[in-house]
């Protein structure tokens, strides 16, 4: 028997036990019943995942290539089949690239600029300030102090 089947069976048993605790057929304290239900449910999930991980992997089927059987021409009918003439491919080499020497341009002579007066910055009118409405503050509720036990 494969090991993944065993893990699936254990997972089903854990789920059944967890169902018994949920149904309440076994009387335990509320916290113990909840804890037992959670433990068996989690164990069931762990065993189910373990069974899924242990299953054998299915290998991709290899396509079988059948060798073509030689076809014998019938002796009564003989046909000549000529293969179409395919012109050979001609690959032309790209034309040779001529190397052009790179000439760096010389920068134009720099002339001293005459002092200029600074231009005044354009004045930008600021839009009128809009007062934003502030939300009203809600009163803070204070907690009552607990009475001290006497």
Q: Judge whether 9 lies within some domain.
A: yes
| Alpha-carbon gap, residue 43 to 76, rounded angstroms | 77
Condensed to tens digits (0 to 9), the pLDDT of residues 42-63 reads 999 999 999 999 888 877 666 6
pTM: 0.39
Domain that holds residue 32: 3-54
| pLDDT for the residue 8 | 93
Question: How many structural domains does the chain have?
Answer: 1
Q: What is the pLDDT of residues 82-122, one digit of tens each?
A: 766 777 777 777 777 777 777 777 777 777 666 677 777 77
Residue 11 located in a structural domain: yes
In a domain, residue 39? The reply is: yes
> 12 with 44: CB under 8 angstroms?
yes
The sign of the dihedral angle between the CA atoms of 45, 47, 49, 52 is: negative
Q: Does residue 20 sit within a domain?
A: yes
């Amino acid at each position: 028997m494969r090991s993944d089947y065993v893990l699936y069976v254990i997972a089903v048993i854990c789920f059944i036990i967890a169902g018994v605790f949920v149904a309440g057929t076994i009387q335990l304290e509320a916290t113990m019943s909840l804890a037992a239900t959670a433990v068996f449910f989690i164990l069931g999930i762990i065993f189910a995942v373990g069974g899924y991980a242990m299953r054998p992997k299915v290998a991709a089927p290899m396509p079988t290539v059948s060798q073509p059987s030689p076809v014998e021409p019938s002796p009564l009918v003989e046909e000549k089949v000529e293969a179409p003439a395919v012109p050979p491919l001609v690959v032309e080499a790209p034309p040779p690239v001529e190397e052009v020497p790179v000439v760096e341009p010389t920068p134009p002579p720099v002339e001293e600029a005459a002092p200029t007066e600074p231009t005044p910055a354009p004045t930008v009118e600021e839009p009128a300030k809009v007062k934003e409405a502030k939300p009203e503050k809600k009163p803070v509720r204070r907690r009552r102090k607990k009475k001290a036990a006497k």
